A and B are shown apart, each in its own frame.
Chain A
Amino acid sequence: MEWQFRADAPIYTQLCEQLTLAIVSGVFGPGERLPAVRELAVDAGVNPNTMQRALSELERNGLVYTQRTAGRFVTEDFARIEREQQRLAETRAREFLDAMEKLGYDHAGTVDLLEQMRGEQML
């Protein structure tokens, strides 16, 4: 997995975001067993306690669960994963619309542009 960290936010929240993205995009599929905390930490090049904190947060959100001795698994609840996907997609869409607004396109203008591009088979 590719990990990247920005300077302006806590590392653990960024780990939460990137792990969530990995689950939504199927890098870690539903019901799949996650690597051990230390292994994930080494892969990401981060502190194991910080990785542990991020995984606990995902557990609170119901995206992963722990089985006492077997380890940590991605939820098998597809609906839960889809909800997360929708939430991420909405966030990205809002970011895109904000960027377009800075270019002088209001939301209707952006939608028009997208439709025009689809018409010209640029999408």
Chain B
Amino acid sequence: MSSILECKALHKRYGTKEALRGIDLALEPGRIIGLLGPNGSGKTTLIKLACGLLTPTGGEILIDGKKPSKETKAIVSYLPERMALPTWMTAKQAIDYYQDFYADFRRYAAEDMLEKLGLEETQTIRSMSKGMREKLQLILVMSRGAKLYLLDEPIGGVDPATRDYILKTIIGNYSEDATVLISTHLISDVEPVLDEVVFLKEGSIMLHRSVDDIRESEGKSVDELFRQVFAY
């Protein structure tokens, strides 16, 4: 099977700081994958490289066999760590904006999710709570019929009920045969929704395995394994 995301000896350096130290990674279509690691391990750098927001210092990164470009952006749906929409926009304007930008945007899906959430289309982003903003942004990202979803910390900084909502929105809405990459350090929350996990430590890959493989052979959860691997 051909990879939807592939890294070959991928390096990224910021000045003298090595953020990624030669990563080899291949992700297959149709999977939900956790990109797990402590703060500063290179998770956001990897996602930004895949989006074409950063360029590699060495090696290469391929999306569906191609270098990040306009073409790959059309099939990649990216949720940034921080809100990237202007706060004067209303929910409806944000939907219009996404529809203008992306040919794969499923407006009916976005409107349906907003309605279920009880979010008024006329409400401005400025007037929304943090949790509501995170939900709106996620709805926009998951309403695209993308081949690759890159979600940078989708459940960081929100309450447990909102986390639950976000995870269920992800599994209920990603398009079939698409791959979803979720970066987080809240492992016990995401663990049940993942097929596989990638552990990043100081810019290198420590482990890439299926969740049930780990539970079967180690007799412990990914969360417990993570605490062991990253113990100080």
Q: What residues of chain A have their CB less than 8 Å away from a CB belonging to chain B?
A: 5, 7-12, 38, 41-42, 44-50
A38: nearest chain-B partner, CB-CB: B172
Q: What residues of chain B have their CB less than 8 Å away from a CB belonging to chain A?
A: 30-32, 164, 167-168, 171-172, 192-195, 211-212, 215-216, 219-221, 223-224
What's the nearest-Cβ distance from chain A to residue B156, in Å? 18
A45 B212 Cβ-Cβ under 8 A: no
B192 A11 Cβ-Cβ under 8 A: yes
Count, A-B residue pairs, CB within 8 A? 53
What's the nearest-Cβ distance from chain A to residue B217, in Å? 10
B172 A49 Cβ-Cβ under 8 A: no
A46 B192 Cβ-Cβ under 8 A: yes
A38 to B215, CA, bound (A): 23
A48: nearest chain-B partner, CB-CB: B171
A12 B224 Cβ-Cβ under 8 A: no
> Which residues from chain A contact B220 at a C-beta distance below 8 Å?
7-8
A47 B32 Cβ-Cβ under 8 A: yes
A47 B223 Cβ-Cβ under 8 A: no
A48 to B173, CA, bound (A): 11
B195 A11 Cβ-Cβ under 8 A: no
A12: nearest chain-B partner, CB-CB: B212
A45 to B171, CA, bound (A): 8
A50 to B192, CA, bound (A): 9
A44 to B168, CA, bound (A): 9
Q: Can you sample 20 A-B contacts with CB below 8 Å?
A: A7-B220, A7-B224, A8-B215, A8-B220, A8-B221, A10-B212, A10-B215, A11-B212, A41-B171, A45-B167, A45-B168, A45-B171, A45-B192, A47-B194, A47-B195, A47-B211, A49-B31, A49-B32, A50-B192, A50-B195
> Which residues from chain A contact B30 at a C-beta distance below 8 Å?
49
B215 A42 Cβ-Cβ under 8 A: no
